[in-house]
Structure 1
Amino acid sequence: MFGAAAAAWHVGGQLLQPHQITMRPPPEDFAVQSVAFDSESGDRLAGWFHQGEPGRGVVVLAHGIRTHRGSSLARARLFGEHGLSSLLFDLRCHGESTGERVTLGWQERHDIRAAVDWAKHRCTGEPVAVVGYSLGGAAAALAAPLEVDAVVLEAVFPTIEAAVGNRTSGKLGIAGPLASWALLAQLEPRTGIAPSDLRPVDAVRRLTCPVMVVGGGRDQQTTPADTRRMFQAAPEPKELVWFDDLGHRNFARWAPEKYRREVVSFVTDCLSRAAADQDARTPAEPSR
C-alpha cells in the first residue's frame, strides 16, 4: 500500500512538472517575430508573431500540455493563407516561458488573457480570435469572459475528473478509478487548486462570442461524450465539428483540408463580421 501511494505521488508530481526547452529557430518559410510579454500568473511568456494582412484580424494560438508554440505552426500557416495574423506563444512552464508548476489551466488562464491583450495592442482595432487545443483550450474556457470575437476549443476536457479518469482508465484498465482518485487527491495539497476550480464545462458558459467546439471521433482522452458535454454547455451562437477518424491529435496537422474548411472558415467569417461591425460603428470622417 505504501509503495502504491508513493508511486501515485511520484506520478502526480511528474504531471505537474514544467516542460521547458530551448526552441529551435522558426521555419524560414514562415516569417515570425520573436516576442515576450508578462502574465498575471507572474510568468514571462515567450512567443512568435506572424504578421498577416493588416485589418484582417489576429488569432491567438494556445497549445496542449507538454508541448510548445511550435505545435501551433500548422494552424498558424492555415490561418496565414487567409491573411490572418497569429500569435503563437508558450503557456507558462512550457517552451521558453517561465514557471515552476503546471496548473492544468488555472494559472494558465491568465496567460490567455495576457496573450489577448498583447494581440490587441499589437494589432490595434483588429478583431481577435482564440484557438486553444487541450490544455490551451481549457485555459481559454477558464479565462472567460474574454473580450474577443471568436473562440475555438479543440479537444478540451469538461472537468479535471474526466481528464484524469479517461487517461488512467486507458492505461490501467480496472485499476484506473483508484489511480484517478489517488492523483486527484494530490491536486489541492500540491497546488492549492481544488478540482472544482478546473471545470471548463462551467466556465464556457461565460463566453460572449461565437464558439466552435472541436472533437476527435476516436479520442480516448477527451472522449466524444466529453466534447458533446462542452458543446451543450457553450452559449449560442456555436458550432460543433468532428474529426471522425482522429484521436487526441493536432487536427490542423493531421487533417489540414478539413481544418481549413471548417475551423479556419469559422474564424475568418467571425473576424470578418466583427471588422464590418466595427467599421459600421466608426463615425465617418467629415467631408471638407
Structure 2
Amino acid sequence: MTSTDSHDRDPFAAPEGIRLQKVLAGAGVASRRVSEQLIEDGRVEVNGVVVTELGRRIDPENDLVAVDGSAIQLDSSKRYLMLNKPVGIYSSLKDDRGRPDLRRFTDQYEERLFNVGRLDAETSGLLILTNDGDLAHVLAHPSFGVSKTYIAKVTGRVTPQVLAQLTAGIELEDGPIAADKARLLGTEDGHSLVELTLHSGRNRIVRRMLDAVGHPVVDLVRRQFGPLHLGTLGSGQVRELTKAELGAILTIAREHAPAARAADGTAAAASDDASDDAAGEGRAETAE
C-alpha cells in the first residue's frame, strides 16, 4: 500500500474538496439553502453522476458540475461575451494590415479574450468572445458543426425551387454543400430576404452558396450561433452571456470535448490553437 491509500490518511485531517452546495452558491446558481434543495431533489450532477448527499465535496478545478442537465462554470476567471460585430471590422485581434479589428471591443477587459470562429469584414452579427480555449475549440471545430443561422439580403426574387435547391445540396469548387434549412422571409424592390441555417464552417460559404444559385448577397447578418440568439443587441454592442446561455454552450462543449481532444491532441493545444487563430497570424478568414 502507498501513503496515498485511504486508510493511511490522517483521520484528523480536514476532508478534501469543497462542499457542493457552497460551490454552487459561489458560482451564482442559487443561495446555499436553495442549492442544498437542488441537490436533495436529484437535480445536480458531478462528472455525469447524480449527487443527492449534502456532505459531498468536490474539486472545483477538476470536477464537472451540471444542474438540470445544464453545465455550470465554476471557474470565475473565464469570461463569455456576445458581440454584434459591425460591417467593416475584421475578425482578428491584430490585423497585420492595420485594418479595424476586434481590439476596440476586447481592450476594455482585463482578460485576454479571443473570438470563436470568424465573420468576414462585410458580414455583421453574432460573434462570441471568450478566454476559454477549450470551449472555443469545440464550438469552432469543423467536426462538430454547431449550427449557425444567417439572414441574407440577395438580388432577385428567390423562388421555392431555389430554396429546395439550397437544402437538397449544390456543388461548389471545394465540394458539395447543403443548407440545413432555407426559407424566404420576404421580397422588396428586386431583392429577397433569405434565412439560411447550416453547420459548415467553410470559407465564405453562405455567400458562395447563394451566388451559385444566382442570387448574390448584398447584405449578410449572422443571427444565431448554436443556442445563442443575437436578439436586440445593437450593432457594435457587447454583453455578457446569461447563465442560461452559458450553460447551453458549456453543455455542448463538454459533450464534444473528448472527441475534440482525440482529434487534435491535448486541451492545452486546443487553447493555444484557438488563441492563435483569433490573433489572425497569417491564416485565411473562415468567414461566412
Question: TM over 0.5, yes or no?
Answer: no
More strand by share: 2
Larger Rg: 2
Q: Give TM-score, length-normalised by structure 1.
A: 0.25
More helix by share: 1
Higher relative contact order (CA 8 A, sep 6+): 2
